């Protein structure tokens, strides 16, 4: 089962042997990743009631704790995905985050829940870098739009099922044992976490036995094995963590210019985060969070996490420049930077809207939590499949008819039109009208991921895709999960709970997003054709 797949001509449109099976397993992994990540949202009212904690603490669990560890650990795990067996890495990480999800099932206080979310964030950090890199070595360039569409559909199903599974399982357990007492004193939300943890373990076993393809062979750019992948991964971690990053700069004998950029950049990041925390506190005052030994303003905690993400990104760029000149040269591609910016801005809109849409439905249309979880969850899952599955083949067709720019134009359509439709959707007079309008909105919105991801990962060499994915994850997570819901919540607080206005306000991010995509369309073909030239000029033996 561990034999590597053979070389395929780079011009071929044939999927490598075992490719569809690999896609099935990676999609199952993506589905479970989003399910385990998002199930907290539907269970939060029960958790708050049983553990006597507030919205601030729930926001910390849902966003800040998860986002910080997910973003930071994606960097060393992304580097490990570029040098070690991706199938084994995925298997280990799935088992780890499944056990962490199960830990929430025995939690009786905030601390253990926070530890569970921390573990889920670390485990899931490898899913996108390793999963995407693996699939790109099974699927040729002409079929990658379809592969990305299937993965996007799996993500949507996972998001939808998190609401359905969490709500239904918790309701069933509490109803079944309300009169006689639950076994081991488990509550419904704890049972839901335990149930969500179970499927990851057999999936981990299947991925462990999945064949590892030869990296880059399907494109005719076979990559030799990395002699020290774990040491390189550990170096990346040490390079992005505060204080040890300076030890690594000294060990690598960084020039005075590198030190100056690092120290000035750190000072600017700290100053900007302090200013934003103060501005947030003035715009929307909130009570302090009690974290045991200290109490912090949620605005301070919020921007501290964002600052750490920016700090990690700065140090990653410098570390790559000092240790891997070809990767640094390739990843400076303007088109790659524009792709990361576009995906991050879109994620800010998506996380901001989706984090508060269930609450908007319950408050505006007076739906119950069970109704919202079932109706909105199933509708989101279904539509999240249709949009990407239509966009996938269209992405491949557009890429062949208009190389480079065709895929960008499809992304521009999805990302530019959907915010306009949002104003129509969130002004619906009743729940039925909302759901009817949401069908068209969600169909258009969910078409963005296949074309943008197909463009982004074609901007780098095969051996750099894990690092590219992890870099994207850091920026996207900080901008999307770290900033999007925060901005919407802050606007809602400042407008006396007007969730509709707050959700629509985040859609104004579409203005700079469209400008970024237009710039990408103008550059993408030339930058994609120059990937090998950039790498060779920097010393890559390709």
Residue 113 neighbours by CB under 8 Å, 6+ apart: 47, 51, 61, 104, 107
Tell me: pLDDT of 457 over 50: yes
All structural domains of the chain: 10-210 (1.20.1250.20), 230-323 (no CATH), 324-537 (1.20.1250.20)
In sequence order, what are the beta bridge partners of 296?
289
Q: What is the pLDDT of residue 3?
A: 38
Would you state the pLDDT for residue 416? 95
Smallest Cα–Cα separation from 77: which of 467, 500, 476? 467
Residue pair 6/214 in contact by the 8 Å Cβ criterion: yes
pLDDT band at 60; cut points 50, 70, 90: low
Report the alpha-carbon distance of residue 215 to residue 93 in Å, rounded: 20
Kindly state the tokens that stand for 110: 């905030």
User: Residue 506: in which H helix or E strand, if any?
Assistant: helix 499-506
**In angstroms, rounded to a whole number, what is the distance separating the alpha carbons of residues 506 and 356?**
12
Instruction: Give buried/exposed letters for 102-138 (b at 16+ CB in 10 A, else e).
Output: bbbbebeebeebbebbbbbbbbbbbbbbbbbbbbbbb
The pLDDT assigned to 517 comes to: 96
Nearest to 146 by CA among 158, 159, 135, 131: 135
- Mean pLDDT: which of 209-218, 253-262, 278-287, 388-397 is highest? 253-262
SS3 of 232, please? helix
Determine contact, residues 211/3, Cβ cutoff 8 Å: yes
pLDDT band at residue 274 under the 50/70/90 scheme:
very high
Predicted local confidence at residue 292, as pLDDT: 60
The DSSP-derived string for 255-318 is: -HHHHHHHHHHHHHHHHHHHHHHHHHHHHS--PPEE-SS-EE-HHHHHHHHHHHHHHHHHHHHH
Task: List, in sequence order, every residue forming a beta bridge with 290; answer none if it has no partner.
Answer: 295
- Mean pLDDT check: name the lowest of 9-23, 103-117, 237-251, 394-408: 9-23
Q: What's the pLDDT band for 59 if we cut at 50, 70, 90?
A: low
Indicate if the pLDDT at residue 539 is higher than 80. no
Percent of the chain exceeding pLDDT 70 equals 93
Question: What is the reported pLDDT for 71?
Answer: 81
Q: Identify the pLDDT of residue 91.
A: 96
Flag whether pLDDT at 340 surpasses 90. Answer: yes
Question: What is the DSSP-derived secondary structure letter of residue 5?
Answer: P
If one counts every other C-beta atom within 10 angstroms of the C-beta of residue 6, the result is 11
What is the DSSP pairing of strand 295-296 with strand 289-290? antiparallel
- Give whole-number Cα distances, 118 to 52, 94, 104, 373, in Å: 21, 14, 11, 25
The most confident of 28-42, 325-339, 510-524, by mean pLDDT = 510-524
Segment 138-167, tens digit of pLDDT: 888 778 888 888 888 888 888 888 878 887
């Amino acid at each position: 089962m561990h034999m590597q797949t053979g070389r395929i001509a780079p011009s071929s449109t044939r999927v490598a042997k075992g490719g569809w099976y690999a896609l099935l397993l990676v999609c199952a992994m993506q589905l479970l990743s989003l399910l385990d990540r998002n199930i907290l949202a539907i269970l939060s009212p029960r958790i708050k009631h049983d553990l006597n904690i507030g919205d601030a603490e729930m926001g910390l669990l849902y966003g800040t704790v998860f986002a910080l560890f997910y973003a930071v650990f994606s960097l060393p795990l992304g580097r490990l995905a570029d040098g070690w067996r991706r199938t084994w890495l995925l298997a280990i990480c799935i088992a780890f985050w499944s056990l962490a999800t199960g830990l929430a099932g025995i939690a009786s206080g905030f601390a253990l829940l926070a530890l569970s979310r921390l573990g889920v964030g670390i485990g899931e950090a490898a899913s996108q870098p390793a999963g995407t890199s693996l699939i790109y070595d099974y699927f040729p360039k002409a079929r990658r739009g379809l592969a990305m569409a299937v993965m996007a559909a799996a993500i949507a199903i996972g998001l939808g099922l998190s609401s359905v599974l969490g709500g239904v399982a918790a309701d069933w357990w509490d109803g079944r044992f309300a009169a006689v007492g639950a076994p081991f004193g488990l509550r419904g939300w704890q049972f839901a976490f335990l149930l969500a943890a179970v499927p990851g373990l057999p999936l981990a076993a299947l991925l462990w036995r999945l064949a590892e393809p030869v990296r880059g062979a399907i494109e005719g750019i076979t990559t030799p094995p990395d002699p020290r992948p774990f040491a390189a991964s550990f170096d990346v971690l040490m390079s992005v963590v505060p204080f040890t990053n300076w030890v690594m700069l000294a060990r690598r004998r960084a020039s005075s210019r590198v030190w100056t950029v690092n120290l000035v950049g750190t000072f600017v990041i700290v100053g900007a985060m302090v200013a934003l925390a103060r501005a947030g506190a003035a715009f929307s005052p909130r009570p302090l969070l009690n974290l045991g030994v200290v109490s912090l303003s949620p605005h301070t905690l919020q921007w501290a996490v964002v600052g750490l993400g920016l700090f990690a990104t700065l140090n990653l760029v410098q570390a790559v420049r000092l240790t891997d000149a070809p990767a640094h040269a390739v990843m400076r591609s303007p088109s790659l930077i524009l792709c990361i910016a576009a995906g991050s801005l879109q994620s800010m809109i998506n996380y901001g809207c989706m984090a508060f849409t269930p609450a908007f439905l319950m408050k505006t249309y007076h739906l119950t939590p069970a109704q919202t979880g079932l109706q909105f969850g199933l509708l989101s899952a279904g539509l999240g499949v249709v949009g990407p599955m239509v966009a996938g083949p269209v992405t491949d067709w557009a890429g062949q008819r208009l190389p480079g720019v065709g895929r960008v134009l499809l992304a521009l359509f999805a990302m530019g039109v959907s915010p306009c439709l949002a104003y129509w959707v969130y002004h619906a007079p009743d729940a039925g009208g909302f759901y009817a309008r949401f069908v068209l909105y969600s169909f258009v919105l969910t078409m963005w991921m296949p074309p943008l991801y197909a463009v982004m990962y074609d901007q780098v060499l095969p051996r750099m895709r894990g690092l590219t994915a992890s870099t994207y994850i850091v920026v996207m997570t900080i901008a999307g999960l770290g900033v999007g819901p925060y901005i919407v919540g802050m606007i809602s607080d400042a407008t006396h709970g007007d969730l509709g206005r707050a959700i629509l306000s985040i859609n104004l991010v579409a203005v700079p997003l469209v400008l970024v995509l237009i710039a990408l369309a103008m550059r993408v073909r030339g930058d994609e054709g120059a990937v090998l030239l950039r790498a060779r000029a920097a010393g890559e033996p390709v």
